Amino acid sequence: MTFVLFLLYAAIGGGVGYGVFTLTDVGMPLSIAAGGIATALLGQIHILIKSDRSTKEIDERIDRVERTVRDSVERVDVVEARTEAVEATIKHELTERRDALVTEMKQLESLIDRLSKSFENKLAETSQSAIVAPEEDAILRDVRDALKDGRVDLHLQPIVSLPQRRVSFYEGFTRLRRPDGSLVLPAEFLDAARRAKLMGIIDNFTLFRCVQIVRRLAERDRRVGVFCNISASSLEDSTFFPMFLEFMTENRDLSGAVIFEITADRFETRSRTMRDNMDKLTALGFRFSIDHADSLALDLPRLQSAGIRFVKMNGTLLMDQLRDPAGPRPVSSINRRVDGEEVSAVFSRYGVTVVAEKIEDEASVIEILEYDIPYGQGHVFGAPRPIKSSLMEETAPPQELVQRLSNFG
């Protein structure tokens, strides 16, 4: 393109020289010089114009680069600000969690410190006054040693919704470990521990650990509840219960996830003290479950007012009573006999949920589904299993606190 323009400028210059030669009296040399000068001027004008255009383009490019740099700097500033905000949030959350853990451990330390004196007296009493058979004495030695060494574990068994079989709750079971790692099962130690008045101590370990496990599950966004067994003696213990109530008040945000479980026979024969203390926990938002119910002939308004929200019954026994047209039926405001297929719905009207437990095979699952039982528990859904060792360590009482219990007995 530039070459073509140069030829054009040369042609114009030649035309100027020819015009000068023909229109004036100057000679040929001057006419050629005039044409050359004209060509040179045109070339210079072209160069100047092109140079000016290039300068503008360069200036525009520089401006664009500057704007890009400014935008990048602004974006970097925004990213840095957001990063600082995220870091501040994380630090705040970590600080809150650390403070919450410290507070929780201080509460636990204070409670165990105050409870230890009562436990020491009770263990001393059982050591001095209890007269037991040799085989029971061996079991009690295992129990005492496990309590002294903090070898009190929690196993969890799933409770599933039906028919989905989605885990909605767990039940916590106490397991005592011997030094060799073998387990002392409840069937072995419960009766002996009750007679020796050690259930309060066992409950203390289990309940505190149960509450802490619920806390850890909540932190991991595991929206499941845990049934925690509590003995009637603990609910009637004038030393234990006030401090336990204090602990649960501090953890009332877990009221939707912690369900206290008591046996049906002890609920039916509960004392005034036990009833009052259950009411105190209910007032905090905690719920109760009765276990080992042997009849559907339960007073539902009474259960409702007592804070009972779950009734557990052996699946086989439950099916036998539901299938029997003349079988036991719950007491309610319904003024007619309730069919077996309606029983679960009648319980629900009073805010009470039926759980079929000890379900061991698929045939039993099919049967309870026919009667719209909403929850099932049993080995067919999962056996009780120990919690993960990492979680066991997280929820264990501090070693120095367990050590305080080592002086008992």
In single-letter form, the type of residue at position 204 comes to N
pLDDT of residue 208: 79
Predicted structure pTM score: 0.68
Query: What residue segments make up the domains of the chain, in order of their start?
Result: 1-102, 103-405
According to DSSP, residue 339 is labeled P
187-215: b (≥16 Cβ within 10 Å) or e: ebbbebbeebbbbbbbbbbbbbbbbbbbb
Q: CB-based burial of residue 105 (10 Å sphere; 0-12 exposed, 13-18 middle, 19+ buried)?
A: middle
How many Cβ atoms from other residues are within 10 Å of residue 170's Cβ? 27
Instruction: Return the closest-CA partner of residue 133 out of 197, 191, 184, 186.
Output: 191
Whose structure tokens read 């629900």? 348
Say whether the peptide bond before residue 163 is cis (omega within 30 degrees of 0). Answer: yes
The CATH fold assigned to 103-405 is TIM Barrel (3.20.20)
Query: Which residues contact residue 196 at a Cβ distance below 8 angstroms, ignoring those fewer than 6 apart?
Result: 126, 130, 132, 140, 143
Whether residue 39 contacts residue 13, with contact meaning beta carbons closer than 8 Å, is answered with: yes
Tens digit of each residue's pLDDT, the chain (409 residues): 666 656 665 666 566 555 555 666 656 666 566 556 656 665 666 666 665 555 666 567 666 756 765 665 566 566 666 666 666 665 666 556 555 555 555 555 555 555 545 554 554 554 444 445 555 678 888 888 888 787 888 899 999 999 999 999 999 998 888 888 888 888 888 888 877 777 777 887 788 788 888 888 777 766 789 999 998 988 998 888 888 898 899 889 999 999 999 999 999 999 999 999 999 999 999 999 999 999 999 999 999 999 999 999 999 999 999 999 999 999 999 989 999 999 999 999 999 999 999 999 999 999 999 999 999 999 999 999 987 765 655 655 555 545 544 444 3
Beta strands in 109-238 (DSSP E): 152-161, 166-177, 183-184, 225-229
Cα 318 to its chain centre, rounded Å, is 33
- Give the tokens for residue 369: 């589904």
pLDDT of residue 216: 82
pLDDT of residue 41: 65
Instruction: Return the closest-CA partner of residue 255 out of 200, 307, 311.
Output: 307
